[in-house]
Chain A
Amino acid sequence: MKSTSRRDFLKLMGLTGAACLATAAPLCASTEGGGESETAIAMLYDATMCVGCKACMAACKRVNMDQNNLSYEHLATDGDKLWDAPKDLSGDTRTIIKLYKESDTRFSYVKHSCMHCTKPACVSACPVKAMTKDPVTGVVAYNKNACIGCRYCQVACAYNIPRFQWAKAIPQIVKCDFCKETNLKAKGKPACGETCPVGAISFGKRKDLLAEAHKRIADQPGRYVNKVYGEKEVGGANHLYLAAFPFEKLGLPALKEESPAALSEHIQHTIYKGFIAPVALYGVLCAVAMKNKKEQEQLGHGEDN
């Protein structure tokens, strides 16, 4: 190849520099995303009170069955199909009680369901607004009528909460929405919280429940690990946990306080702010290409494509 002229070299440097700036600039800036609204509602699950009766699971499935097209999951040994026995959250199960067992006397139940994050990655990821966060209640809900089934929400969620109906030809994403369209609408409370016989699931304003959680720890420091799970994880959540064991042992992942969704959005916003950068890039490239083409045509060589 012939040696590069100085003009070409400068052009290359300019373009490369612009590309680097456009991509790298946001890395220096802080993350986006504010705190949860004052009116946000939340759930506090106290694992030390839970007796593992799974009434919450049964109520959840009964109430939300039609909305999410859920099925009962039977064991092969359960010939009469008497028991719903899900192994994990799934396309048929929005909440589940699991057991963490250290010994016969030292164990804890733990309830898994959507964390209703302050800065939900699923909402940030969804390309078609099928996942939304209510600005007043903070509830993260799913709309199957918009969903395209791309499962980016599953990739994005740090807790692996959204589940997909893999075996169905007409599938949907399944996850807890605090019974937004069912029990919450009808009775002002999610089905699990309404059903719990021992009061392990409290439901109310996030700020009140957070204060309550810290009060319980202060009152009985020996009973709990000194942390409210969900207070700060990836920017905070509206599902709060108290437990006697480190949360990681209960299957709740140890997460940073920064939200990857906020970082992702910040990078995207910086590059595409007002769509100026792409338009400018197009303009500059057009000018360069037209000029090159003209030169080429003058050399009697010209054509495009």
Chain B
Amino acid sequence: MGHHDEYQVQHGKILTKPFFILLALVVIGFGLIAYRFIAGVGAVTGLSDGYPWGIWIAYDVATGTAFACGGYALALMIYIMNRWKYHPLIRSALLTSVFGYCLAGFSVMVDLGRYWNAYSFFLPSRWQPNSIMFEVALCVMTYSTVLIIEFLPAVLYTLEHSKWQWVRESAQWLHPRLLPDTDSLHSGLSVVSKAAGHVQVRLDKVLIFFIVLGITLPSMHQSSLGSMMIIAGDKLHPLWQTGFLPLLFLINCIFIGYATVMFESIISSYSFKRAYETHEISGLAKVVPMVAGLWMAVRFGDLIWRGQIPAIFAFDRNSFFFLLEMALIGGGAFMLLWKKNRLSPRMLFVSGAILMLGGGLFRFNVYLIGFNPGAGWSYFPSFAEFMITVGIIALEILGYLVLVKIFPVMPNPKKHFEEEVEEEAGELVADPVHARVFVGK
């Protein structure tokens, strides 16, 4: 695996000002989570028997996992569509996906009323395969594990090549009586490094099977996240209730995935003062209008087929949110039709953000805004409920900020372009793939 220097560790202090701000939000969120486990779900949420699911499901699970589809959408592009120039982007996308999915799972555990029974999912005697949620739950759990395995090479690389500076320093700092045997510590550390290298070689050989599993599983559960609301029947407004929900959710998560990669790449380049990865993300940006266009075609085709076009122009709450959803997705995708916009980091950022908002709003509409259990029920998230979601999002960003400074995650601009192009300049003429990279630059 000679190309580990395709990625680099982001240098910089870990304990920055944003770190402490995010940490404060995490502490508040987790304090409220502790209170939820003492006082019950009702004590911290605005939920009711009519609205049993709130923002923890609509945002953290249904929308958050779509924002975490960057890894899936990129893997689809690289490994299936054979576009290897996007490979440098995959680790940071994977890291976002790891956090998105693992924390969605964590949110579910906070949301579950009888969380101690969650082991039921591991008892085949309790499996209920007719349940869409059963499929989503198993699939999301498996996929979270697959994501961690896909990210492992970055961790193993660090373990293998670490000089263990901080361990040695803290060992020295300890009183000799507490840690007298520095030799065995050092030999222990070298065993860890060796083992990491050993595992890495073996993991490399099978990693492709996990990567493909990481493409198959989201295709399954992202569509099932759509199927999930079919059973709600008339409780979900006809603008959203359709048998095409699984297909719509699947396509939706792909363009959200690309939008998130665009958004995340620009925001991290900006905040880490790195060069923008405009070349790669403008390539992704070119695909977005096609995927979003396909989504819109299915969406409108379905509405026409079900005769729901008049509902769009009812100008009530549902039609307003429908139009907003369409304007955001259509607008964000439309911007990317022009090459000028695709080469501007600013426009890529704006369009990525708009597409995330619009794509996320579609999911919010399906899970919450278009959901009406009947007269007499209402829902608005309570402050505590909202702060728990904020705490979880803060933990996601915090984890990202810390891990990119420990593990080689960010693309290495030097290694990836300049050196490679120089080294292999002789091949360039006969090598269309590299020529593409070179010319594109």
Contacts and interface: CB of A to CB of B under 8 A. Distances in A.
Interface of A: 1-2, 8, 11-12, 15-16, 19-20, 23-24, 26-27, 89-91, 121, 124-130, 144-152, 154-156, 158, 160, 162-173, 234, 253, 255-256, 260-261, 263-265, 267-269, 271-272, 278, 281-282, 285-286, 288-290, 292-293, 295-296, 299-301, 303-305
A279 to B, nearest CB: 9
B49 A90 contact: yes
B243 A267 contact: yes
Contacts of B294: 16
Contacts of A285: 79-80, 212, 215-216
DSSP majority for the B interface?
helix
A288 B133 contact: no
B121 A128 contact: yes
30 contacts: A1-B440, A8-B81, A8-B82, A11-B81, A19-B247, A127-B128, A128-B120, A128-B128, A130-B120, A147-B114, A148-B114, A148-B120, A150-B133, A154-B49, A155-B235, A164-B52, A171-B40, A171-B41, A260-B232, A260-B233, A263-B230, A264-B227, A267-B246, A268-B227, A281-B216, A285-B215, A286-B212, A289-B211, A296-B84, A299-B431
Given A128-B117, A148-B115, 16 more contacts: A8-B82, A12-B81, A20-B247, A23-B246, A147-B117, A148-B114, A149-B117, A166-B45, A167-B40, A234-B233, A267-B227, A268-B227, A289-B79, A292-B82, A293-B208, A305-B207
A2 B440 CA distance: 9
A264 B440 CA distance: 47
Interface in B410-441: 424, 427, 431, 433-434, 436, 440
A149 B113 contact: yes
B132 interface: yes
B374 interface: yes
A127 B131 CA distance: 5
B130 A171 contact: no
A253 B440 CA distance: 61
Contact of A11 (B80, B91, B130, B433): B80
Contacts of A172: 113-114
Contacts of B27: none
Contact of B112 (A148, A170, A256): A148
Interface of B: 1-4, 6, 37-43, 45, 47-50, 52-53, 79-84, 87, 90-91, 108, 111-115, 117-118, 120-121, 126-135, 137, 150, 153-154, 204, 207-209, 211-213, 215-216, 219-220, 223-224, 227-235, 243-244, 246-247, 250, 283, 286-287, 294, 371, 373-374, 377, 424, 427, 431, 433-434, 436, 440
A166 B40 contact: yes
A124 B131 contact: yes
A129 B126 contact: yes
Nearest to A128: B120
Interface centre among A149, A173, A288, by most chain B C-beta atoms within 10 angstroms, is A149
Nearest to A26: B243
Nearest to A293: B208
B115 A149 contact: yes
Nearest to B432: A2
State the 7 A-B residue pairs at the shortest beta-carbon distance, nearest first: A149-B113, A166-B42, A260-B233, A149-B114, A127-B134, A151-B52, A154-B52
Contacts of B42: 166-167
Contacts of A146: 117, 120, 126
A155 B233 CA distance: 10
A155 to B, nearest CB: 6
A109 to B, nearest CB: 18
Contacts of A303: 1-4, 6, 87
B204 A304 contact: yes
Contact of A264 (B40, B50, B120, B230): B230
A150 to B, nearest CB: 6
B416 to A, nearest CB: 11
Contacts of A15: 80
Nearest to A23: B247
Contact of A304 (B108, B207, B250): B207
Nearest to A299: B433
Contacts of B283: 1
Given A160-B49, A160-B373, A305 B150 contact: yes
Contacts of B233: 121, 158, 234, 255-256, 260
A65 B233 CA distance: 32
Given A27-B243, A168-B40, A278-B216, A148 B117 contact: yes
B374 A253 contact: yes
A127 B113 contact: no
Contact of B244 (A23, A162, A163): A23
B150 to A, nearest CB: 7
A253 B37 CA distance: 35
Contacts of B219: 19, 281
B118 A148 contact: yes
Contacts of B228: 152
B121 A127 contact: yes
A124 B130 contact: yes
A272 B246 CA distance: 13
Contacts of A168: 40
A292 B80 contact: yes
A169 B36 CA distance: 8
B80 A152 contact: no
Contacts of A127: 120-121, 128, 131, 133-134, 137
Contacts of B135: 268, 272
B204 to A, nearest CB: 6
A289 B38 CA distance: 49
Given A8-B82, A20-B247, A154-B49, A121 B231 contact: yes
B243 A263 contact: yes
Contacts of A261: 231
A125 to B, nearest CB: 6
A23 B223 contact: yes
